[in-house]
Amino acid sequence: MQHGKYRFIVGFLALPLGLYALFVVWPFIQSIYYSFTDWTGLSPEFKMVGLDNYRRMLDDEIFWKSLQHSLIFALVLPLVTISLALFFSFMINVGGRHRRGGPVVTGVRGSSFYKIVYFFPQVLSIAIVALLFAFAYNPDSGAINSVLRGIGLDSVQPLWLGDPDLALWAVMAVLVWSTVGFFVVLFSAGMASIPADLYEAALLDGAGRATTFFRMTLPLLWDTVQSGWIYMGILALGAESFAVVQIMTTGPGGPDYSTTVMVLYVYQKAFRDGQAAYATTIGVALLLVTLAFAALVMRLGRRERLEY
């Protein structure tokens, strides 16, 4: 059985690894190379400028604002999204009361319907979601302020995306709404694989919902939670945050750069300002932030693997 094993493995891995190296690794290497040049992105001619782009980046006030906003996205969005998804998943799968003649461990009434409702935003494109919420946040005719006026809160009429203090949080709320359903389904699948006997034994021992969740469900799901945390952080640092900020905010990235994130700043410098080399420099910084985030989550989340 060992004869030709390595040739067999190499034969299967050669093509996907080659494609990965060509379309993922090589563009990263090119970006790092271009970050040391003055390439505009429009001309085939450029020259080496050493660390000039990196010095410029460190002196760029907008870059530091975008870095701060991206870090807020990476820290707050996974925390809120994963926490909500765990709570909803637990209630859907385990948090219901025992009904006569039914299983001992069950979800709340209508749990199947709730799964569909939570997952529904995943069916919509993030561009459509951003457009819908952009209309909802409109301070004059938007649904949110209209509801506030309808219940007599005429004095509470936030500008939402026009307020520098609220715009970033309003955008983050959209990302939470659009992504929490995916993690509800992911965690529900993990909870469904936990044997019901464990829950029944915990209930017989007098364990409540909170004890059952923190002492049994969460430790057994920890690997899935850790992977989901990293995945959500990458979304918050990358395409998802770019899409909602680009579509929903004024500028985009405004007002007063209050919603500018690193990935949006890369796009603006490359395609709006014709400064591709400087854009790749910011992209290298974004790569380092993403790798540091993933390494930190894996390091802090390391614990002994539990099996059942």
Look at the alpha carbons of 268, 78, 180, 139 in this order and tell me if their dihedral is positive or negative: negative
308 has a pLDDT exceeding 70: no
User: Are 62 and 16 in the same domain?
Assistant: no
Note whether 53 and 168 are same-domain residues.
yes
Judge if 77 and 224 occupy the same domain: yes
Asked if the structure places residue 39 within a domain, the reply is no
Number of domains in the chain: 2
Degrees, nearest 5: CA angle 175-76-269: 65
Instruction: Let me know whether 97 and 151 are in one domain.
Output: yes
Q: Give the span between the Cα atoms of 235 and 264, in whole angstroms.
A: 13
User: Whole-angstrom Cα distance, residue 135 to residue 152?
Assistant: 21
In a shared domain, residues 218 and 253? yes
pLDDT in tens, 75-96: 999 999 999 999 998 888 876 6
69 Cβ contact list (under 8 Å, min separation 6): 168, 258, 259, 260, 261, 262
Both 53 and 29 in a single domain?
no
Strand partners, 37: 48
Output 123 or 173, whichever has higher pLDDT.
173
Which residue range(s) make up the domain with 58?
Answer: 48-299
Residue 42 is assigned to a structural domain of this protein: no
Between CA 101 and CA 80 the distance in angstroms is: 37
Regarding whether 101 and 19 lie in a shared domain, the answer is no
pLDDT at 1 over 60: no
* Sequential DSSP letters for 242-281: HHHHHHHSSTTT-STTTT--HHHHHHIIIIIS--HHHHHH
- Kindly report, residue by residue over 44-78, the tens digit of the pLDDT: 888 999 999 999 999 999 999 999 999 999 999 99
Is the backbone of residue 218 left (phi > 0), alpha (psi -120 to 50) or beta?
alpha
The predicted pLDDT at position 19 comes to: 92
61 lies in the same domain as 205: yes
Flag whether pLDDT at 301 surpasses 80. no
Residues 125, 195 within the same domain: yes
Q: Is 68 among the domain residues?
A: yes
Cα–Cα dist 100/95, whole Å = 16
Please state whether the predicted TM-score (pTM) of the whole model is above 0.85. yes
Together in a domain, 56 and 27: no
Assess contact for 69 and 168: CB atoms under 8 A: yes
The answer to the question of residue 169 being in a domain is: yes
Nearest-5° Cα angle at 171, 284 to 116: 105
Q: Quick check: 162 and 254 in contact, CB under 8 A?
A: no
Asked if residue 61 and residue 16 are part of one domain, the reply reads no
Domain membership flag for residue 306? no
DSSP H or E stretch at residue 76 = helix 61-93
Q: What is the pLDDT of residue 211?
A: 83
Is 200 domain-assigned? yes
DSSP string computed for 93-158: HT-SPP-TTS-SS---TTHHHHHHHHHHHHHS-HHHHHHHHHHHT-TTT-HHHHHHHHTT-TT---
Q: Are residues 132 and 250 in the same domain?
A: yes
Query: Which CATH number does the domain housing residue 66 bear?
Result: 1.10.3720.10
